[in-house]
Each structure stands twice: as C-alpha cells, then as structure tokens.
Chain A
C-alpha cells in the first residue's frame, strides 16, 4: 500500500525568499510533501487584490494571490508563520505579526493553518520548531532530527549566497543537493552597485521587474544584501546615540548599508522598497541623508502594482550611466590637471 503524504502549501512570497530551504527540509523530514505556489504574475496581484483592501502593500497582495493559488492546488495544510522577532530585542513589521489572523479573517474556510510563532524575545528557535511539530502530531525525536537537518540546509544555502550566487541559483543547488560548489565570477565593467531591500522585493522578479537581471545585462556587478559576509549582521545597529533599531528586516538593511558605505569600491546604492511600507519610509530617509554626506550615488525605487516597467528601467539606466560618466571623469582628472598646469606654465 502506498502511503499518501499530506501536502503543505507554502506561498511564494514574503519570508519565502529568506527561509524557504529551512521550511522545506523541516517539513519534508517530518514526512510531508511541500508544494510552492506558482511564480508571481499579474493575475496573482489581481486575485490577491480582491481579497485584501487597496491600501495594503504589494508584497502582501501577492501573498494573498499565492494563497489562493495554493487553495486551487488542493493542499491539506497552509503554512502561515507568525514571525514576531528573529533576533533578540527586535520586532518584525506589524503585518507579519498579524499575518495568520489576517489570513483567517479574510479567506473563507481555509484548510488548517500551521501557525508557527517565532519569538526570539521570549523563547528559543527550537521551542517553536517543537511546537510546530507537535501540532502536526510528530514525535520529539523526529522533530529534533528534522530541525537539525533543516538548520544545516539553511546554513548551506546562506553560505552559497554569501559566495555571490543569486537567490535562484542558490536555491537550485540546495534543492539539487550539489555540495562543494564553486561559483564562477561573471564579467563586469567595473561598476559595482549594491542593492538593498527586503528579500521579497529584491528577489521577486515580478515586483522589481527583473531589475537584477537587467543590471547584470548592463555588465554591472551587483551585490545584494545576502551576498555580504555573515559577521556584519551580528551587531545591533545604532540609528542615533539614543535609539537602537528594533525592526528585524531593517536591522539587516541598516547593517548592510553601513558595511557598504565603508566599501571604497562601491559606486552606487539602490534601495528597493514597496509603496506603503512603514519601516522603509523612515529607513529610506536615514539612508538618503547618510549617502548625501558621503556623496555616494543613491536611488530609492518605490514600487507598487502600478509601476510602469519603462519608467523604472529608464531611471536605473540613467543611474548606471551617471556612475559610468562619473568614473570616467575621475579617471580623466589627473590628465586634465597636468594639461592645465602645462597651459599655465
């Protein structure tokens, strides 16, 4: 007799772009099949928009679109985690805090929701894992085994990204199970641009209109937040003398930005944020002011479902062109100086 596995559906949005390898391994080890929703398209946003109100940010609209997509796939469970804080003393955005409630409140008769509370201010990670496993009626030893393996996979995946791979590449390798992978260094024209932002904005090609690919086509070396060394995320960032940042996602962005600002080879910084995003509106202001002081080219792209592709591409192209010209002018300067000296003499 073939044992039919129960299916857990995971929407391809929000924290999928950060923790998916961890979740997948954990549930597969617990003897479940994992199904991910289809890639985001315009219809995903449209269906999501019907279930949410109009003022909510686009990642959340996409999230509901993906949930509906999963319901069509007839999953047995929906995985909607409640990430309260991921490091000690921080909070996630309020929308993450109320996500399971929002899903229960807006979708009619959803399949059983696996609600995983991650709250590092109060309890350690493994406690959440045990709680989740017990919800699914699995034994403690099985949960422990699954948890260790999941964490190992997650670290492997993270290390791949630190080596300079994109999200999709790292994901393919982790899923394929290739070990000891050596990434190739791609060609570029000497322009290095840092891209910061929430994982679900930077790595979702629908929201950001495939910006990363377009930049790579322009032969630009792209550094995303996940490609930076892991050590920089360990210390809490300080916004002013008196205030410590308390948002989990923004903590990462700010540490990354602080690290990138010290990098002398960096030529420009792009901040991708979605319209209506609360934390980003203030973080953006802080980064803008810091970048102004350093005279580093900086652009913040505010995206929502109405953004026209042409407008975004034009802005980014102009940004890259400007950097290239600036570099050329810097190179020319010594020559011009000598020429000017000769003329005066």
Chain B
C-alpha cells in the first residue's frame, strides 16, 4: 500500500511518520517546483487560491509514479479548504487516474475521526492497532514540535550568521534528522542536538539590535517556502529577526483546544471590538492575524508581514482592517502585505521587501534618536 500526501514546507517528516507509523509505505513527491506547478495550473480552476494548485500538482506527480492512495486534510469551516479534496478528486478522476482519496477531517480533532483514517491504513485490524495509533500520534506530535523548534531557531539565527547560507544548511540537516528518527526517545534526544547545532553556527556579536519582524498569514503559504518565494530566508538575509508563531504544531494544538497562545490573541481581537476586531473565526487565519498584530504592536515589534494566497477571502478581511488601523495610527506597527499566486515576479517581490526593510531601519534609528535626545 503506497500512500502519498501533499507538501507543506518542512512538515513532510511529520506526515511521513503518520503514514509509516501505521505500517503503510509512503511516497513523497519532489518538492514543489515550477515544472510541477505547470501541470497543476493546467488542470485547476482559474481563480482558485494558490495552495489548491500546488497540492494538485503534487498529487499528479505522485499518481504518475504509480501511487494509488492519496491523503488530504479537510475542514468543515467557512473557507474554501474544505472543498479542496472533493474538487481535486473530481478533477483527477476526470483526467483518467484510478486511485482512492482519503480525507483527514481536522475541523475538530477532539472528535477523533482521524483515528479511523489511521486505522484504515493499518493492515492489522486487531485491538493492537489502537496501541499503534497511540504510538504514531505521539511520534507525530513530537516531530511537529521539533519542526516548530527548528523554524523558531531559524528565524532568530539567520540575521546574525557570519557565513551566509549556513543556517539554511543546518535547517535542512535538522529536518533530515527528524525524518530519520522514528522512536520517541530518539526524538527526545534530538531536541538538545538541534539546539546545539544552531548554537554552533558562527554569529556576529549583537545585543538583539536586529529588526524584530513578525511573519504571519495563511498557514500553507506561510509554511511553504516555494509558495512564499522563501520570504523567511529573504527577510533574515536583510537583517530581520523573523518571529513566527504559526506552525503545524501550533495548529494541531489549536485543533485539540489546548492552544492558550491562540486563545490569548483571540481575546485581544475580541476586546478591540469598537475599532473592528473580528469577533469570531471566519476561516483562514484572519481572526488570529488581527490578534497577532495587536499582540506584536504591544510588544514593540518593528515590522509585520502578512502573506496570503491571492483571492483568499478571510485574509482580505483582515488586511482591510489592519491597513486602516495603521493609516489611523491606532497601532504603531507598519504592516506589509503580500499576495501570492503563480504570476508572482521574483524581482518585484524582492524590491518591495528590501524597501520595506529599509523603511523599518530608518524608523528604528529615528526612534533611537528621539529617545536619546
């Protein structure tokens, strides 16, 4: 039984552990690239959001390699994501592929519907499979948490590195290490190894003077470095400490209703009702993007980058409100918005990012001057 799943940045070891832990064979398509994307574009609706196209491209590549089972996550929320797997199944079936589409309902993980999916991948149908599910879930959560660690270290290290590109290499190495370890105790030891590896990168002396930039947005775009043109690396190389609360682990914690950070930023958004704080989850990450903006503004961050796929409905709502807040100087945190789709030009994007970072630098210097005088 060969099972495939779509890419989402550095999260592939986690999904792989989920499938291989249940005894199935996993197939990982090549990381998103332009040739693959072309196939996806040809077969997807014209103005659907971008993650649909990249995931469809992943599926077609895997199907061409002879995979018969696809696993795709789904939601029951108001945004388009819940429709992805059904429409993709329809498109792929019309293209003449024969396969089975399995969906992972993750609207609320406490309903434990995902257990059914995991068991369906397991050949062993006895009561022992329950233990297997428990073990797989534990390893999966541990891997997610490690990937979150890696991404957090990556954001805070890159802007101070002396040899450019070293952090990127370490990240790759760490992700491969997470992928290779399959037992819980091995993974536990990895946590300190990862910390050591990042500490060993030669850094220039600093007392935290790098620009503090918060990066947030729609989860797939924020985590997938192909989709967002590696914005995290580019920001880091321009000298910004990138802070990102978003990760797969964060998301899963939220879906198990134990994410207290998200609860806090929800509260922040709700309490700013009079100036337009969103009151409920409207799909995507809009609710938390607003809360995150308030949170970072209160914590004296220097910049805020919000990224989302073009035509994403919830994020646009958040964007409208944030740009209004900044234009009226309710919060003193300059936001920057990027919408991504297949037509994004690299040069234009980099120029905008560079000028934004320059502006942030000038602003910070001015603040310092005003403070000292």
Interface of A with B (CB < 8 Å)? 52-53, 55-56, 84, 91-95, 97-98, 100-106, 239-240, 242-243, 246-247, 275-276, 278-279, 281-282, 284-286, 289, 302
In the complex, 21 of the A-B residue pairs with CB atoms within 8 angstroms, ordered by the A residue number, are: A53-B320, A91-B78, A91-B283, A94-B284, A94-B314, A97-B283, A98-B282, A98-B286, A101-B279, A102-B317, A103-B276, A104-B274, A106-B324, A239-B83, A246-B76, A276-B47, A278-B79, A278-B311, A278-B313, A282-B80, A285-B87
Q: A289: which B residues are within 8 A, CB to CB? A: 90, 94
B320 touches A93 (CB 8 A): no
Is B297 positioned at the interface, with any CB of A under 8 Å from its CB? no
Q: A101: which B residues are within 8 A, CB to CB? A: 273, 276-279, 317, 321
- Provided the pairs A55-B311, A285-B87 are in contact, do residues A95 and B317 lie with their beta carbons within 8 angstroms? yes
B316 touches A53 (CB 8 A): yes
A98 touches B45 (CB 8 A): no
How many B residues touch the partner, as a band?
35 or more
Q: How far is the CA of A282 from the CA of B87 in the complex (A)?
A: 7
B86 touches A104 (CB 8 A): no
Looking at A53, A105, A106, the one whose CB has the most chain B CB atoms below 10 A away is A105
Given contacts A246-B76, A278-B311, 17 further A-B contacts (CB under 8 A): A53-B320, A55-B319, A93-B78, A97-B282, A97-B283, A101-B273, A102-B276, A102-B321, A103-B276, A105-B277, A243-B85, A275-B47, A278-B80, A279-B80, A281-B49, A282-B80, A289-B90
A52 touches B48 (CB 8 A): no
Is B162 positioned at the interface, with any CB of A under 8 Å from its CB? no
Pair count A-B, CB < 8 A:
119
Interface of B with A (CB < 8 Å)? 45-49, 74, 76-80, 82-83, 85-87, 89-91, 94, 103, 273-280, 282-284, 286, 310-314, 316-317, 319-321, 323-325, 339
In the complex, residue of chain B having the shortest beta-carbon distance to the beta carbon of A283: B83
A94 touches B282 (CB 8 A): yes
* Set B85, B274, B280, B323: member contacting A53, Cβ < 8 A: B323
A242 touches B86 (CB 8 A): yes
B265 to chain A, nearest CB (A): 15
- Provided the pairs A98-B282, A282-B80 are in contact, do residues A56 and B90 lie with their beta carbons within 8 angstroms? no
Q: A286: which B residues are within 8 A, CB to CB? A: 87, 90
Q: A285: which B residues are within 8 A, CB to CB? A: 45, 48, 87, 90-91
Q: A239: which B residues are within 8 A, CB to CB? A: 83, 86
Which are the 4 A-B pairs with shortest beta-carbon distances? A105-B276, A105-B321, A91-B78, A97-B282
A281 touches B45 (CB 8 A): yes
